[in-house]
Amino acid sequence: MAGEEFVSEKIEPVPGTTDPRGMARGEPGLPARFVWRGKEYAVAAVLETWKETGACRSGSPERYVRKHWFRVRTAADEEMTIYFERQARSRRERTSRWWLYTVSPRPSGPERGRVDIDDMRGRPHVVE
């Protein structure tokens, strides 16, 4: 992606803006708004989601979801990649689960099949 900037900094979800449907599925509720570097951002569209898995840490053959990734467009027209860590990195950072991975300017061209966040309820819906 042209102009993509690596960030890797924690973000703070704005209380009351998380998607309850994600939580009902056992996934993190994507915040409709979050604060990064003292500025509040609103998620206007979810462009892509995926999960990162890892091997069991106790030696069994199971694989577990480690991170939930979201590529989003903000109301400020920036594209951001954010993720949620299923387990905190350390005891000191146990409340820091949401991270901003990259930021990039809006790419040119149409976006079909994107998911918009409904401003009234903070719930995503697909735009054809």
User: Residue 126: is its pLDDT beyond 50?
Assistant: no
Q: For the chain, what are the domain ranges?
A: 5-110
pTM of the model: 0.73
User: Residue 77: is its pLDDT beyond 50?
Assistant: yes
What is the DSSP secondary structure assignment for residue 19, as one 8-state letter?
A: -
**Torsion angle in degrees (nearest 10) through CA of 18, 83, 26, 13:** -20
Query: Which tens digit of pLDDT belongs to each residue from 37-61?
Result: 999 999 999 999 999 988 877 878 8
Q: Which residue would you say has higher pLDDT here, 119 or 54?
A: 54
What is the DSSP secondary structure assignment for residue 52, as one 8-state letter?
A: E
